[in-house]
A and B are shown apart, each in its own frame.
Chain A
Amino acid sequence: MNRPVAAPDTRDIDIERTRLTDALAETWKTPSGIWGALATVDHKIIGRRYIFTAFVFLALGGVLAALMRIQLAQPEARLLGPDRYNQIFTMHGANMMFLFAVPVMEAVAVYLVPLMVGTRNIAFPRLNAFSYWIYLAGGTLLWTAFALDMGPDVGWFAYVPLSGPQYGAGKRADIWAQMITFTEISALAVAVELVVTIFKQRAPGMTLDRIPVFVWAMLVTSFLVIMAMPAIVLESTSLILDRLVGTHFFNPAEGGDVLLWQHLFWFFGHPEVYIIFLPAAGMVSTMIEPFARRPAFGYLGLVMALIATGILAFGLWVHHMFVAGLPRLGDSFFTASSMAIAIPAGIQVFCWLATLWDGRLVFKTPLLFIIGFIVTFVIGGLTGVMVASVPFDTQVHDTYFVVAHFHYVLIGGAVFPLLAAIHYWFPKLTGRMMSEALGQWSFWLIFVGFNATFFPMHILGLEGMPRRVYTYQPDLPWHGLNLFISLSAVILIAGFLLFFINAIRSARVGEVALDNPWDAPTLEWATTSPPPSYNFAMIPVVGSLHPLWDDRDSLAVANGLRTDRRELVVTTLAAAEPQAREASPRNSIWPLWAAIATAIMLIWSIFSPWAVVWGSVPVAVALIGWFWPKGAPEDES
């Protein structure tokens, strides 16, 4: 039944180092040229692509924010009309949440998790390629629609009845709903890849208590994606059905219900916040070690806090609906659970503070962003506890207070750690260092600009300025603060511009990076910067949580893998004991075809229900082409 075992000369035993790396490079390479680029399944290439694309969407979303700030800088401004303004704030929110924040966190994980757990590629690498193309298609759909004046204009959570068939004429709400489908498919695909990579592809010896905290964070996040995103897939599909074929899910006249929309949306939407925040928290716990020159304080507490947050995340959604007129007792329960989330968040903050307190701090750009994060996130967390209280929330609901709160937790809580992460892992991504001077400048501009832009919004909210208004009258007491906010936004934008300039410039002419420029303890720094296509010439064997600190002279590795087929090690779930030398799929163009077929089907289905029937045929064909064995060595077993 089994094929003969490969001849010994294809193993990595007793061969010269250069012959080994040459053979591995040949087996794992991505051929140059456009075809090679389209067919690659290398998690590093796809991860870089994902990160780059997400930052393009960040920049585009930033342009929309700038337009809104120009419009609101003075009363009765005429730059944007109400219709365009509706599209712009909807695009800004939808773009930042679905095309930037969630994908960028998953993107960083796509790049880093396989390196951090010491394997050669992500699990299901072709699915990974597919997920990127689907993501790109979803983003292109949204922005093309906006360019054609068909951008969604119903807010990023698209409440019915505004987005329903009665009020949402045209295809704008459908564009929103189908963009959701694209991004959720790609997010779910990456979540599955990450769960399986973390469960089954950890280096031998990487037991559960030796997993880097960022990897733990991505494991919890992936489960949140898996459990939360079906809600919005179901919801956006129901909306399209209501709009296209006349179902009545959200039509009260025929037994439907508008609050059903809010329940489904926030059952997804609240975990979504943690889908963005938990990876950031994991990044901080991992990055803080080299800059504090000591292990993070309270590993167990940090991991347990991540898991606790993940579980609590599903019991909070109603706090977005306090003004919807739900039963009092329900509101009280959700107030309590919302406040409870401050406990695991607090545990993490105190662990970080303890690490910094006892550390010998190295004040490089990543650490500045980490400290900026702790300050900003705590402010955002405190206003979070405030809005968890029903009477207070009733007062500030849908005002700029809420806008201030969620920008503090999202930018302060997630974008600051992300920027730290980009500075920190840039050498691993590109092989070059980012400029420290420009990095420090961009930190201070962003930190000061952010706080000056968003802090006054709390006050505006308390003064009663509602969110999502395209202008306000001169006799209202808001224009002073609005002008101040818009001017401060210039500082914030300057900071981001400087960051982009630094990144682009450093990628080309930055100082060449060493393998481990920060003297960090985790496995991604055990290989070159950037890593070769096969990540590790020999799979590391892990004996501690900080393998690169505990043995500074040598790296324990395993041999016995074949070099003529893409081979990696599958290990047991808890103890990470080797189970099999599993094959990892080769490059393939089929994921691209499958993504194109899926994109055609999904976009077509905005216009006709028959698209699902006829459009699924090419999808099936592409999937068969994808999975049909090609007789490659990887198929041996």
Chain B
Amino acid sequence: MREKIVLDLAKLPLHGMGTASVTWWGTLAFMLIEGTGFALAIAIYLYLMSLATAWPINAPPPDLLPGTLVTLVLLASLVPNILVSRWAEQQDLRKVRLGMVIMSIVGIVPLVVRVFEFPALKVSWDSNAYGSVVWTLLGLHTTHIITDLVDTLVLAALMVTRHGRNPRRFGDVQDNAMYWNFVVATWLPIYGCIYWLARL
């Protein structure tokens, strides 16, 4: 079939940022998958809770301290996270490099506190269904933090190489920051579930 040229795309940028980036949409889609997973895990918690005559089952409510500490650290981490995202948008490489190092550390801190969070549940995963579901919720979210931490570490390393000076990388940093916001956002209902529903 004869081709008839009706449009010239030569002036378009070589990479789209934000909603013009396919990676942004991909990240969003993966967030939807994981968000659904978390919502269902919480639904399992509520379902088991609705069946039990007493909740928590044969265990005291979890200690508030480590979990609340993690919550505060995660909430505080939003400040540098949003700053890094802004610096990436401005394509300020020096600040982004610094910000990625800060975010790497900020990603490690909640994991350190989390080591104390598991024993603070005061129930083992194999004691009863209550233990199983709280360990699973906490385990899922820990996996979430680890995944994003590894991503942040690799990206931080990438930003100091010659590949860093590239709008594509700044887009990656923004997507990574968006994902961290999601990691924090998913924690809040899980925190409420594990620590406060058990106190109702």
- Please report the C-alpha to C-alpha distance between residue A270 and residue B190 in the assembled complex, in whole angstroms: 27
Contact B6 A255 (CB under 8 A): no
Q: Could you say which of A133-141, A488-496, A553-561 contacts chain B?
A: A553-561
Give the residues in chain B near A229, CB-CB below 8 Å. 33
Contact of A260 among B3, B41, B47, B130 (CB under 8 A): B47
A18 CB, min distance to chain B CBs, angstroms: 14
Inter-chain contact A624/B154, CB cutoff 8 Å: yes
Q: Determine if A526 and B163 form an interchain contact, defined as CB atoms under 8 angstroms apart.
A: no
Is B76 among interface residues, defined by CB-CB distance under 8 A? no
Contacts of B131 in A (CB 8 A): 247-248
Chain B residues near A123 (CB, 8 Å)?
Answer: 22, 25-26
Partner of B7, one of A227, A558, A573: A558
**Cross-chain contact of B29 among A11, A226, A241, A515 (Cβ < 8 A):** A226
In the complex, how many angstroms separate the beta carbon of A273 from the nearest chain B beta carbon? 18
Task: Report whether B36 and A227 are in contact in the complex, using a CB–CB cutoff of 8 Å.
Answer: yes
In the complex, are the beta carbons of B44 and A579 less than 8 A apart? no
A196-B26 contact, Cβ under 8 Å, with A234-B41, A560-B12: yes
Q: Is the CB of B13 within 8 A of A553?
A: no
Find the B residue at minimum CB distance from A194.
B29
Q: Interface residues of B: mostly helix, strand, loop or mixed?
A: helix
Q: Which residues of B contact A325 (CB under 8 A)?
A: none
Closest approach, in angstroms, between the C-beta of B145 and any C-beta of chain A? 14
User: In the bound complex, what is the Cα–Cα distance between A246 and B131 (angstroms)?
Assistant: 11
Q: How far is the CA of A227 from the CA of B44 in the complex (A)?
A: 16
Whole-angstrom distance between the Cβ of A113 and the nearest chain B Cβ: 14
- Given A254-B129, A581-B13, decide whether A230 and B36 contact each other with a Cβ distance below 8 A: yes
Q: Which of A255, A548, A557, A561 contacts B3 (CB 8 A)?
A: A557
From known contacts A192-B29, A230-B36, infer whether A11 and B10 are also in contact, taking CB-CB under 8 Å: yes
User: Does A635 sit within 8 A of B, measured CB to CB?
Assistant: yes
Residue contact B132 to A247, C-beta cutoff 8 Å: yes
**Which residue in A11, A559, A624, A635 is a CB contact (below 8 Å) of B168?**
A635
Chain A residues near B30: list those with CB within 8 A: 192
A255:B51 contact, CB within 8 angstroms: yes
Closest beta carbon of chain B to A4's beta carbon, Å? 11
* B9 surroundings in chain A (CB, below 8 A): 204, 539, 558-561, 569, 578, 581
A231 adjacent to chain B (CB < 8 Å):
yes
- CB interface residues, B 16-70, toward A, < 8 Å: 16, 19-22, 25-26, 29-30, 32-34, 36-37, 40-41, 44, 47-48, 51-52, 57
Q: Could you tell me if B132 and A248 are in contact, using CB atoms closer than 8 angstroms?
A: yes
Of all chain B residues, which has the CB nearest A227?
Answer: B36
Q: How far is the CA of A578 from the CA of B10 in the complex (A)?
A: 11
Q: Closest approach, in angstroms, between the C-beta of A170 and any C-beta of chain B?
A: 21
Contact A255 B22 (CB under 8 A): no
Q: How far is the CA of A111 from the CA of B10 in the complex (A)?
A: 28
Known: A1-B167, A538-B5. A234 touches B126 (CB 8 A): no
List residues of chain B with CB within 8 A of the CB of A553: 1-2
Q: Would B6 and A254 count as touching, CB distance under 8 A?
A: no
CB-CB contacts below 8 Å: A580-595 with B: 580-583
Flag A18-39 by CB within 8 Å of B: 1 or 0 each. Answer: 0000000000000000000000
B4 x A557 contact (CB < 8 A)? yes
Total chain B interface residues with beta-carbon distance under 8 A: 57
Given A580-B16, A582-B16, A230 and B33 contact (CB-CB distance below 8 Å): yes
Point out the residues of chain B lying under 8 angstroms from A583, CB to CB: 14-15
Select one of A1, A11, A192, A548 contacting B26, CB under 8 A: A192
B residues near A242, Cβ cutoff 8 Å: 132
Chain A residues whose CB sits within 8 angstroms of the CB of B25 once the complex forms: 123, 195-196, 199-200
Q: Which residue of B lies closest to A204 (CB)?
A: B7
In the assembly, what is the distance between CA of A147 and CA of B170, in Å?
50
Q: Report the separation of the CA atoms of residues A123 and B27 in the bound assembly, to the nearest whole angstrom.
A: 12
Contacting residues, chain A, for B167 (C-beta < 8 A)? 1-2, 637
- Please tell me if A236 contacts chain B, counting CB pairs below 8 Å: no
Q: Is A347 an interface residue (CB 8 A)?
A: no
Chain A residues with Cβ below 8 Å from B168 are: 635, 637
The interface centre, meaning the residue of A234, A570, A637 with most chain B CB atoms within 10 A of its CB, is: A637
CB-based contact B32/A227 at 8 Å: yes
Contact between A581 and B22, CB atoms less than 8 A apart: no
In contact, A249 and B26 (Cβ under 8 angstroms)? no
> Which residue of A has the minimal Cβ distance to B164?
A629
Residues of chain B in range 97-119 having any CB-CB distance to chain A below 8 Å: none
Q: Which residue of B lies closest to A552 (CB)?
A: B1
Residues of chain B contacted by A3 (CB below 8 angstroms):
166
**Once bound together, how far apart are the Cα atoms of A201 and B22, in whole Å?**
9
Q: Taking the complex as formed, is A337 at the interface, i.e. its CB lies under 8 A from any CB of chain B?
A: no
Q: How many angstroms between the C-alpha atoms of A195 and B51 in the bound complex?
A: 38
Q: Is A343 an interface residue (CB 8 A)?
A: no
Chain B residues with Cβ under 8 A from A255's Cβ? 48, 51-52, 57, 128-130
Other-chain contact of B16, A241, A247, A561, A570 (Cβ < 8 Å): A570
A637 is contacted by which of B13, B47, B130, B154 (Cβ under 8 Å)? Answer: B13
Closest 8 CB pairs of A and B: A560-B10, A637-B15, A580-B16, A255-B129, A247-B132, A560-B9, A246-B126, A558-B7
- List 7 interface pairs A-B (beta carbons < 8 Å), by A numbering: A123-B26, A234-B37, A248-B127, A560-B9, A561-B10, A578-B9, A579-B16
Interface residue ranges, B against A (CB under 8 Å): 1-16, 19-22, 25-26, 29-30, 32-34, 36-37, 40-41, 44, 47-48, 51-52, 57, 91, 125-133, 135-136, 150, 154, 158, 163, 165-168
Chain A residues near B (Cβ < 8 Å): 1-3, 5, 11, 13, 123-124, 188, 191-192, 195-196, 199-201, 204, 226-227, 229-231, 233-234, 238, 241-242, 245-249, 251, 254-257, 260, 263-264, 267, 515, 526, 537-539, 541, 548, 553-561, 569-570, 572-573, 578-583, 620, 624, 627-629, 631, 635-637
Q: A199-B25, A251-B129, A578-B12 are in contact. List 18 more A-B contacts (CB 8 A).
A: A2-B167, A5-B14, A13-B10, A124-B26, A191-B29, A195-B25, A201-B22, A241-B132, A248-B127, A248-B129, A254-B129, A255-B129, A554-B1, A556-B6, A559-B7, A580-B15, A583-B15, A627-B154
